[in-house]
Amino acid sequence: GAGVSQSPSNKVTEKGKDVELRCDPISGHTALYWYRQSLGQGLEFLIYFQGNSAPDKSGLPSDRFSAERTGGSVSTLTIQRTQQEDSAVYLCASSLPANVLTFGAGSRLTVL
Amino acid sequence: EDQVTQSPEALRLQEGESSSLNCSYTVSGLRGLFWYRQDPGKGPEFLFTLYSAGEEKEKERLKATLTKKESFLHITAPKPEDSATYLCAVQAGGGSNYKLTFGKGTLLTVNP
């Protein structure tokens, strides 16, 4: 596609439920990033995928968070047993190696 | 640990009133400094990359400059459509050179 596509754009869930957020990167972009943007905070790095290399998961805040990237393209970020502090905008970005990141519009998650 | 501090947090200008946004950083071996613009409900949009002290880049009413400790985003004769949050990010050299560390941003409002 022409840009990075994320879905859903908005998700409201109850505390304790699991959620999945999806990212479709720009075709041909081998690098994919997930960032979290909380109110009043800067973008927080979560995870990085590059080709077939092992992902850098160092930014995932707890073991309730996981992500996968299938076929080197689409990525899913899963949050299990959601907590209120997980409420944020989750941004996906893709790039060519060593190139500028292009961001999607984000998925806004609200945990009640 | 890489750190990025942006000031002011918010800036309100009248149309045509020039000003500057500041981005102070500490990083182990700067690989690149990035400026992004973020409109409400959207993902960050790339503006500039600066690589070395003394470098300058311009785009329409915006000019970005870089020293060894900080970067400035100068806005000349701003228009209301320049209203947005401006984000600064640094990319360090070394093994994790794909990561961007972001500041919290400056919310710019330009009144007509």
Mean pLDDT on A68-89: 95
Mean pLDDT on B43-49: 96
pLDDT(A1) > 60:
no
Token digits for B2? 């890489």
Q: How far is CA A90 from the centre of its chain?
A: 5
pLDDT for the residue numbered A101:
95
pLDDT(B97) > 90:
no
- Contacting A with CB below 8 Å, chain B residues are 4, 34, 36, 41-46, 49, 87, 89, 96-105
The pLDDT-based confidence of B4 (bands split at 50, 70, 90) is very high
The pLDDT-based confidence of B83 (bands split at 50, 70, 90) is very high
Please indicate if any CB of chain B lies within 8 Å of the CB of A30: no
Q: pLDDT averaged over chain B?
A: 95
Which residues in chain A belong to E strands, given as ranges? 5-7, 10-13, 19-24, 31-37, 43-50, 65-69, 75-79, 88-95, 102-103, 107-111
pLDDT for the residue numbered A52:
85
pLDDT for the residue numbered B94:
77
pLDDT for the residue numbered A42:
87
**What chain A residue is nearest to B49 in terms of C-alpha separation?**
A100
Which stretch of A8-22, A29-43, B93-107 has the lowest confidence by average pLDDT?
A: B93-107
pLDDT(A41) > 60:
yes
Please spell the DSSP secondary structure of chain B, one letter per residue.
Answer: --EEEEE-SEEEEETT--EEEEEEEE-SSEEEEEEEEE-TTS--EEEEEE-STT-EEEETTEEEEE-SSEEEEEE-S--GGG-EEEEEEEEESSTTTT--EE---EEEEEE-
Residues A47, A49: Cα–Cα separation, whole Å = 7
Mean pLDDT on B38-42: 95
**Pairs of residues, one from chain A and one from chain B, whose beta carbons lie less than 8 Å apart:** 48
Residues of A in contact with B46 (CB under 8 A): 100-102
Contact (CB<8Å) A41/B104: yes
What distance in Å separates residue B105's CA from the closest CA in chain A?
A: 7
pLDDT(A68) > 90:
yes
Residues of B in contact with A98 (CB under 8 A): 97-98
Please indicate if any CB of chain B lies within 8 Å of the CB of A25: no
Q: Which of B98, B104, B106 to mutate to test the interface with A (most CBs of A within 10 A)?
A: B98
Contact (CB<8Å) A105/B42: yes
The pLDDT-based confidence of A23 (bands split at 50, 70, 90) is very high
